[in-house]
A = this chain, B = another copy of it.
Amino acid sequence: MTLADDRAAVATAPAGVPHPRLSLNQATIKYATLDEALAVAAAAGIQSIGLWREPVQAVGLTEAVERVTASGLRVSSLCRGGFFTTSDPVARREALDDNRRALDEAAALGAPALVLVAGGLPEGSRDIVGARARVADALEALAPYALETGVTLAIEPLHPMYAADRAVVSTLGQALDIALHFDERAVGVVVDAFHVWWDPEVMQQIARAAGRIASYQVCDWITPLASDALLSRGMMGDGHIDFGPLTEAVTAAGYTGDVEVEIFNQHIWDSPFDEVVGQTVRRFAATVPL
C-alpha cells in the first residue's frame, strides 16, 4: 500500500467504537478543562484518559478524583514529573518533593504511572554527563516512595532534539539503563513513538523493555518540523511513522495497558474538541494494530 492509498484509507475509515485500550491524553485537547476533557472522551466512547497535573490542580485533587470517578474513565497516566537535572541542592530538594506530591496525585487518581521528563541541561552548564547522572540519582531517591504509593515512575526518553533544553534522557536504551537498576513496580519507561521511531536500535530496545513498559504513546512525526519544535507532533497517519512494527514490538514485550494519543500541535489545539476526538478514534483504529 502506498502512502497515498494509506492516507485515503485512513481518511475514509468509519468512526466506529473506540478501541477499548485507546486513551486520550489530555494534552491533545490542551485548552479543555478537566470536565470538558472527561465529557468529550466519554461521549465518544473512549474508556481511558491521560491527565496532566495543571488541569487537575485547577479544580483541586479531591474534586478531580470525584469527577474522574463519576466519568467512569480509567486514568492511564499522570503527566508529569521529572525536571531534576539541577545541581543546586535547594532546587533539587524542591524538585524531589514536587515529584512525591505528583506520585500522591497519581495514586489518588488511580493512575498506574507518573510520566517523567528528565529536564535539560541546567542553565549555564554544558555537562550532559553530569546532568544524566543526576537523573539516576533522583530516581534512587524517589523509588521507595513510588513503591509505597503503588505508582510507577515512568522515564520518558525524549527525542534527541530536546536534549539541551527539555530532557537529557534521549534514547530508550538509556532510559532502560537507568530503569533496570530498580524494582520494576517502582521504575519503568515510556515508549512514545514520536520520540523513538528514528532509533536504529528501537526494536531491540523495546524487546529489552519487557516488563518495564509503563506507558505506550502514539502520535506522528510530521515534516517540515513546526517552527516551535515542541509542537511538531501530528495526528497518526499525517506523518512518517509506521505504527505497525512499533506496536507489535510493544505487544510482544508484554504491554497490555492503555495506549495514549498525545499530540502537541497548534492546528489540532485550535480545532473543536469533539472533532479532534472523533479523528483520534478513527486514526487510531486505522494505524495502531492492537
| A229 → B minimal CB distance (Å) | 5
Output the residue of A123, A124, A132, A228 with the most chain B CB within 10 A: A124
| A6 → B minimal CB distance (Å) | 8
| Residues of chain B within 8 A of A271, CB atoms compared | none
| A167 → B minimal CB distance (Å) | 10
Interface of A is mostly: loop
Interface size class of A (residues with CB under 8 A): 35 or more
A11 at the interface (CB under 8 A from B): no
Copies of this chain, count: 2
A89 at the interface (CB under 8 A from B): no
Question: What is the bound-complex CA distance between A223 and B239, given in angstroms?
Answer: 25
Question: What is the bound-complex CA distance between A224 and B124, given in angstroms?
Answer: 15
A12 at the interface (CB under 8 A from B): no
A128 at the interface (CB under 8 A from B): yes
A121 at the interface (CB under 8 A from B): yes
Question: What is the bound-complex CA distance between A73 and B165, given in angstroms?
Answer: 39
- Beyond the given A3-B126, A174-B200, could you list 12 further A-B residue pairs with CB under 8 A, ordered by the A residue number? A4-B124, A126-B240, A126-B242, A128-B197, A160-B160, A161-B161, A161-B229, A163-B197, A165-B223, A173-B200, A224-B228, A224-B229
Sample (10) of A-B pairs whose CB atoms are under 8 Å apart: A2-B124, A126-B240, A127-B242, A128-B242, A129-B245, A160-B160, A161-B161, A163-B197, A171-B199, A225-B229
